[in-house]
Amino acid sequence: MAEVLGVVASIVSVLQLSKGVVDYLKSVHDAPRERRDLVVLLTQMRALLYTLKDLVQSVADDDWSSTLRSLSGADSPLTMFNTGLEDIARILSMPVGTAGGAYAAIGKFKWPFEERRLKKLFASLERLKTHFQLAVENDHLRLSRLIRQDVERVGEGIRALKHSVHAVGSAVQATELGITRVATDVAALHDNVHDVKCHQLTAEQRDALRRSHTFDYSRKRFAALELQAEGTLGWFLYHPDFRCWRSADEFQFLICEGGPGVGKTVASACAFQHLQEIHGRDPGTGLSCVFLDYCEIGLHSVQLMLRSIIAQTLKLRPLLWNVCDIILRQDEFTVSELLSILRAMRHQLPRWFIVLDALDECHEDVLDDIIGHLSSSGVGIKIMATTRTVSIVRGLKDRSRVLAVRAADSDVEMYVTKRLNIETRLRNFVGGDRELAESIRQAILAKCQGM
């Protein structure tokens, strides 16, 4: 218990300091674009720390003890982040008391970060962000390994500094290091060439995909991503049900339920992008999505959706053509033929993630057929589906888990704050009145009710 309280206290202290730095940066007028990038990165890290604080306080799990130990100590990520924030505050020459969030408005000042220092700062913060992501995921093994690597890197830096006194020795070491880097670059180049070869499609295959992929389900997904405010939906991606669906075999279906306007499609688009970032380069994982639209409800059929699901993963994993070259020889397929192709591909893929958005926006018979066909296509196919009501997805109780989708208060507050800062009309209306800005945020939070 004392360990938990110590970690929570450290997180709260870092959150207070980071809030002061972020507020100070936001109040600077006519600052360069790098200022905005730094604010976005710090805001994302604060969101992870808020999530981590809630998890540490609410999850009573012995497995968390290793993660908690990794977060405490002189060389812990929290300590390094706190030190980094203090360095930023010192470089910015922040007034006394700024860390608490109370400071006078400031005007123009010369941006103190030179390009080299800024790159080093961003690299350090991105690495700490990875630490916090691993902590949220309770991946204490990778977290400990990453912290150990950071400590070893600092030690190597100190040793290199000592050796720099001996000019000849330093030159020899630099030469050896250069040779090692060349060897590493050659190995990386070899791997990249292999990846390019594996991802190349022949002209015949590209033509077959164009004929097969006759409906573009990605338009709605890209439009939804444009609506997502930076830093939001972290609660969804780190929710235990989503993480369990993604990484375990406990259940096949994740049914995301919510009323109109709560952000189900944006959550689907964000989840699919997350899957692409994690599994995009894994040759043993398939990735497909179908984003339905009520304006096109009459166009959707089982054949159309299956063809698109197959074509998307074939485009991503060209090596699968060796089990489904029938697509090169014909244009029209029955549902039975498409299911045979899908099962043949599935045997080559240990995992296949399929995101189905807005299931309630297709005909009921089409919905029953596509769910039935995909659920019976074998182990390894993992389906995330969004809908307004769970009742339309029948017969999946033993293989599914339901996750309610709504706009989290932290997401709404982050979105409103961003709009107040970036929109000229709103910024002029508020006019630097912090009390007015806060009253606007609270009024919207009270009215939105998860929308």
- What would the pLDDT profile of 221-236 be if each residue is shown by its tens digit? 888 888 787 778 888 9
pLDDT of 134 strictly over 60:
yes
Higher pLDDT, 48 or 148: 48
Residue 307: count of CB within 10 angstroms of its CB: 23
Q: Could you give the percent of the chain with pLDDT greater than 70? A: 72
Residue 37 is predicted with a pLDDT of 82
Residue 161 is predicted with a pLDDT of 39
Residue 167 is predicted with a pLDDT of 43
pLDDT of 108 strictly over 70:
no
Higher pLDDT, 61 or 256: 256
Place of tokens 């097969």: 212
Residue 172 is predicted with a pLDDT of 44
Q: Could you give the percent of the chain with pLDDT greater than 90? A: 10
CATH number of this structure's domain 203-404 = 3.40.50.300
Phi-psi region of 52 (alpha: psi -120 to 50; beta: other; left: phi over 0): alpha
Query: Which residues 6+ apart lie within 8 Å of 99 measured at CB?
Result: 16, 17, 20, 21, 89
What is the rounded distance in angstroms from the CA atom of residue 49 to the CA atom of residue 78?
9
Evaluate if pTM is beyond 0.85. no
Domain boundaries, the chain: 2-104+111-159, 169-198, 203-404
Residue 217 is predicted with a pLDDT of 75
Query: Which residues 6+ apart lie within 8 Å of 272 measured at CB?
Result: 221, 287, 289, 355
Task: State the sign of the Cα–Cα–Cα–Cα dihedral 59, 64, 69, 70.
Answer: negative
DSSP, res 298: T
- Confidence label for 435 from pLDDT (cuts 50, 70 and 90): confident
- The segment with the largest mean pLDDT, out of 66-70, 135-139, 321-325, is 321-325
What number of helices (H) and strands (E) belong to the chain? 18, 5
What is the rounded distance in angstroms from the CA atom of residue 393 to the CA atom of residue 87?
53
- Determine phi and psi for 401, rounding to 5 degrees: -135, 140
What is the rounded distance in angstroms from the CA atom of residue 143 to the CA atom of residue 91?
29
Residue-wise pLDDT for 137-179, tens only, equals 765 545 555 555 655 554 454 354 345 434 444 444 554 555 4
- Confidence label for 393 from pLDDT (cuts 50, 70 and 90): low
